[in-house]
Amino acid sequence: MLSSASGTAGEARNGRFVILDPRTTFHVPADTKIIVSFQWVGTPGKHHLTGIWKGPGGVTSTSSFDYVAPDREFGGYWSIPVTAEAPEGAWTFEADVEGTPAGTRSFEIVHGDAEAPVTAAAPRPLVPLTRQEMFALALAATVTVEGLDAAGKSITKGPAAIIDGQTFVTAFAVVNGASKLLVRAGSGPSAETASVLAWDRRRDFAILRVPGVAGVTPPGQAPALPAVGAPCVTVNAGSDGAYSVTAGDVVGVNDYPDVGTRLSVSLYNSAASPGAPVLDEFGRLVGVVSAGLYPGAGYSITRMAELGQVPPTMVVPLSALSAPAGAPGVTLSAGLAAGILKDGARTQPIDQKSEFSLNEKEMTTFVNSDPKGTIKSLAVVRIYNFDNQLLGETKPLKINLRTGSLSMSIWKFGVPPKEGVYRVDVLLDTDVVWRGYFRVVK
């Protein structure tokens, strides 16, 4: 069951029956009928729906009908007249589909209007959108973020969700290692920034504040997490950079150590790109697609028994995203490269990448710093294999930085002699300030 509602009036909208005055208390003789509606997700095709009204003193009434569902999501509604003889007290409506219990709805009948509370009119309920409307809003809620290295070469590219006219959120991988970012809505012009407002590598998000992006259409924002079973839509970037929309259902809400709350979404077809917005059935933003529980790894091991299983898409909910008020932004960047071109103020990495050959003798890790305060620390770089075994570390490097002192820290080390996936951690004292993954191939 996705939802249920009760009231005295309703109408069909976009293939659903919507209760116009949702409530659970009804007054006799002012109210002359009660309507109960349910919405489920199941299988398309013919269904036999039964409803049982149960009132005080053993009063019952049953009605059934057949319904052919054109889609996985379908619903039904029942109504019953209310007369002066209707027993006062607590009532329950029970629904079943093909004889299987499919939800209950409780309400109360009160005799007399004198004691009925005077309340303001109930707010008009949200109207579920059609699939076409959801698809259109998902595309409108998406911008493209492109990351450039110090030489102006494109090294990352992916979608981002629109928070408001100048604030966007994407997955950390979309900004990782970039020296500057280009943000574009649709086919419009790009706006440029060299900083992020806030980021969290482990929780896999980056928030950008970029004024001047033309053609931005912010979606509404969902006030709470969607229920399990709720429909949703997101987008996927093709090899040509064009976005396609894919629909799905929320299949889980879980809390994980270190990364916090994640929504699990099962998509009907295609995949979803990290950083893509996820919208609910009302067109509201609920979160952004994550690269997974281990963002940045880029590579995974799949067991033979899992080849036929499609893992759910992980989503960072909107409630888990945060940026400090008035934050000035954190200057990018850090990354891996084949080498460094040293040229005074124009010193820059050469050939930024995450895949190295066994024929290459050396690789470089670099971190650009623009501190917002004084930093005195010892920096160390450690290299681990895929099994989290420490392969080596650099000698401690003294770091002494002041506010506004732009600098680049550089570490060179040999390419590991075996094929595989490796991890690089940059630490200031005991804190990991940057983490990257790379692969060694023949």
Contact call for residues 82 and 33 (beta carbons, < 8 A):
yes
Distance between CA 356 and CA 393 in Å, rounded? 19
Region at 398 (left for phi over 0; alpha for psi -120 to 50; beta for the rest)? beta
Task: Name the one residue in this structure whose structure tokens are 């160390």.
Answer: 380
**Helix H or strand E encompassing 139:** helix 131-140
Specify the pLDDT at position 132: 85
Specify the pLDDT at position 416: 93
Question: Across the strands, what pairs with 77?
Answer: 37
Contact call for residues 31 and 64 (beta carbons, < 8 A):
no
Sketch out the chain's domains with CATH numbers: 3-126 (2.60.40.1930), 129-329 (2.40.10.120), 333-441 (2.60.40.10)
pLDDT tens for residues 324-380? 544 455 555 677 888 888 776 567 778 888 899 999 989 998 887 766 667 788 889
pLDDT tens for residues 180-235? 899 999 888 999 988 788 887 778 899 998 988 988 889 989 888 888 888 999 99
Specify the pLDDT at position 329: 52
Residues of the chain with pLDDT under 50: 114-122, 297-307, 325-327
Distance between CA 428 and CA 375 in Å, rounded? 9
With H, G, I as helix, E, B as strand and everything else as coil, classify residue 346. helix
Percent of the chain with pLDDT over 70: 87
